[in-house]
């Protein structure tokens, strides 16, 4: 089995889960980070939590066109890509991990839906992309470990790549706990 640990930053309002950024790390050491050029920037800026924790970590052009306080995403930044391009990169990334790839995320239900919607409706999920994401929280629960006993992230929270790296740390830590119990 090869695992791909991932994390998304997204905007959601109870109806829509819209991709902002995605980070992925594979057991073989590959990493992917991309920011969507297509999310609703005004909606993210208006959202106090997203503005503070997510928007603040994105490549931003400040005072756009000389207007104070008008910030926008830097569309020329190499990490910023159209959704269709991100979909291709993510597909290639997952397929390269091999046919027994497992997707892993933390509290990952929304992440899985938002990821799958890169390709449109559920039925359009491409060959090679797993139809579900393993959840760190479920594995912790299975092992009787409380969420607050898991390894803590040292920094970079809500940067999708930093979060994906931390997810890998936690998943491997849990795998070691599971192994100890069967030893
Ligand atoms: Mg995150």
Q: How far is the CA of 181 from the centre of ligand 1 (A)?
A: 30
Residue 138: predicted pLDDT: 97
Q: How far is the CA of 14 from the centre of ligand 1 (A)?
A: 18
Q: What confidence score (pLDDT) does residue 59 get?
A: 97
pLDDT of residue 103: 98
Q: Residue 52: what pLDDT? A: 95
Q: What is the pLDDT of residue 50?
A: 97
Compute the distance from residue 147 Cα to the ligand 1 centre, in Å: 16
Q: Give the pLDDT score at 70.
A: 82
Any bridge partners for residue 73, and if so which?
60
Q: Nearest-CA neighbor of 25 among 110, 102, 86? A: 102
Predicted pLDDT of residue 49: 97
pLDDT of 163? 98
Give the integer Cα–Cα distance in Å for 164 and 91. Answer: 17
Beta bridge partners of 3: 102
163 Cα to the center of ligand 1, angstroms = 5
Tell me the mean pLDDT per 10 residues along the chain, length 183.
96 97 97 98 95 96 82 96 98 97 98 98 97 98 94 93 98 96 86
Task: Please give the distance, rounded to the nearest whole angstrom, from the Cα atom of residue 117 to the centre of ligand 1.
Answer: 18
Q: How far is the CA of 156 from the centre of ligand 1 (A)?
A: 9
**Nearest CA-CA partner of 19 in 133, 111, 142, 145:** 111
pLDDT of residue 155: 86
Quote the pLDDT of residue 85. 98
Q: Tokens for 144?
A: 């009787």
For residue 158, report the distance from its CA to the centre of ligand 1, in Å: 4
Interacting residues of 28 by C-beta distance below 8 A, sequence separation 6+? 2, 97
pTM above 0.75, yes or no: yes
């Amino acid at each position: 089995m090869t695992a791909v640990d991932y994390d998304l930053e997204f905007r959601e309002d109870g109806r829509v889960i819209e991709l902002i950024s995605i980070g992925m790390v594979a057991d073989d050491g590959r990493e992917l980070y991309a920011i969507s050029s297509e999310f609703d920037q005004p909606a993210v800026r208006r959202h106090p939590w997203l503005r503070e924790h997510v928007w603040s970590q994105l490549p931003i052009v400040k005072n756009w066109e000389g207007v104070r306080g008008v910030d926008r995403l830097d569309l020329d930044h190499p990490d910023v890509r159209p959704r269709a391009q991100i979909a291709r990169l993510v597909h290639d990334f997952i397929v390269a991990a091999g046919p027994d790839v497992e997707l892993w995320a933390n509290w990952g239900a929304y992440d899985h839906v938002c990821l799958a919607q890169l390709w449109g409706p559920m039925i359009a999920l491409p060959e090679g992309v797993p139809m579900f994401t393993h959840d760190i929280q479920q594995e912790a629960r299975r092992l009787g470990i409380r969420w607050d006993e898991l390894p803590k992230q040292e920094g970079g929270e809500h940067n999708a790549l930093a979060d994906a790296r931390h997810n890998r740390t936690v998943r491997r830590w849990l795998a070691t706990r599971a192994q100890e119990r069967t030893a």
